[in-house]
Amino acid sequence: QVQLVQSGAEVKKPGSSVKVSCKASGDTFTNYAINWVRQAPGEGLEWMGGIVPVFGTTNYAQKFQGRVTITADESTSTAYMELSSLRSEDTAVYYCARTGRQLVLVGFFDYWGQGTLVTVSS
Amino acid sequence: QSVLTQPPSVSGAPGQRVTISCTGSSSNIGAGYDVHWYQQLPGTAPKLLIYRNNNRPSGVPDRFSGSRSATSASLAITGLQAEDEADYYCQSSEVFGGGTKLTVL
């Protein structure tokens, strides 16, 4: 059974950066893309970007270009999402999610992490 | 404002049938991208409900079904149960709908 386990909640100051991890187990890590989706309080889902670990290829939503970096460490089956220049509007739950089709960056997301709450506050 | 448009809320009594619409454009659904649906119970991560328009993952009851047309899609839930009360999201390519809150009366 595939599991995605994310790092714990974070509280950050405006202007700082946050790095959230997502450790995968139970299946081949490298062939499946890991995407990051966030959800602000009381709001809907928003795709941020993703990575296909075996290729190292990434794609980011235009809204986050220049502020988000997604990486993957194949040796530990862990993906990371780093968001910089944080502002209060970035307060949200951040989810990692696996694309259900091999070697494809975006498709349906069949497994999700439990979510990581990032709070941006002075 | 989401690229995919869903009704903010729908409701139905136990045992009834409800549908949730998802309207896109020529940039997503209309361009041939598949539609997927997720169920999100309060305080939990989204769960895949329907993939590639009308396919159910293992373990999802056949009370849930999906359909797709030119630039829109629908999720139907029959035999409504109290446990179906949740938020539902459609997705096409990398975009999500704004979500629909289902209330079981």
A115 — contact with chain B (CB < 8 Å)? yes
Rounded Cα gap, residues A60 and A18, in angstroms: 17
What chain B residue is nearest to A45 in terms of C-alpha separation?
Answer: B96
Contacts with B47 from chain A: Cβ below 8 Å:
112
Report the amino acid identity of residue A107: G
For residue A82, give the DSSP letter.
E
CA nearest neighbour of A54 among A76, A27, A31: A31
Among candidates B36, B45, B98 on the partner chain, residue whose Cβ is nearest the Cβ of A113: B45
Is A47 within 8 Å of B94 when comparing Cβ atoms? yes
**Would you say residue B43 has pLDDT above 80?**
yes
Is A109 within 8 Å of B46 when comparing Cβ atoms? yes
Residue A104 near residue A33, CB atoms below 8 Å: yes
What chain B residue is nearest to A62 in terms of C-alpha separation?
Answer: B94
What chain A residue is nearest to B33 in terms of C-alpha separation?
Answer: A107
What was the pLDDT predicted at A24?
Answer: 95
Among candidates B34, B38, B95 on the partner chain, residue whose Cβ is nearest the Cβ of A47: B95
Rounded Cα gap, residues B65 and B88, in angstroms: 13
**Would you say residue B3 has pLDDT above 90?**
no
Quickly list DSSP for B11-43.
EE-TT--EEEEEE--TTTGGGT--EEEEEE-TT
Reading the block at residue A90, the tokens are 């970035």
The predicted model gives B29-51 an average pLDDT of 96
pLDDT band at B1 (very low <50, low <70, confident <90, very high): low
Q: What is the pLDDT along chain A (122 residues), one digit of tens a residue?
A: 899 999 999 999 999 999 999 999 988 788 999 999 999 999 999 999 999 999 999 999 999 999 999 999 999 999 999 999 999 999 999 999 999 988 989 899 999 999 999 999 99
The predicted model gives B33-60 an average pLDDT of 97
Cβ neighbours of residue A75 under 8 Å, at least 6 residues apart? none
Report chain B's mean pLDDT, rounded to a whole number.
Answer: 96
What was the pLDDT predicted at A19?
Answer: 98
Contacts with B95 from chain A: Cβ below 8 Å:
47
What was the pLDDT predicted at A66?
Answer: 95
The predicted model gives B98-102 an average pLDDT of 97
Sign for the CA dihedral angle at A63, A65, A66, A71 comes to positive
Sign for the CA dihedral angle at B19, B24, B29, B30 comes to positive
What was the pLDDT predicted at A27?
Answer: 81
> Phi and psi (nearest 5°) for B82?
-55, -35
Strands, E assignment, chain A: 3-6, 10-12, 18-25, 34-39, 45-52, 57-60, 68-73, 78-83, 92-99, 109-112, 116-120
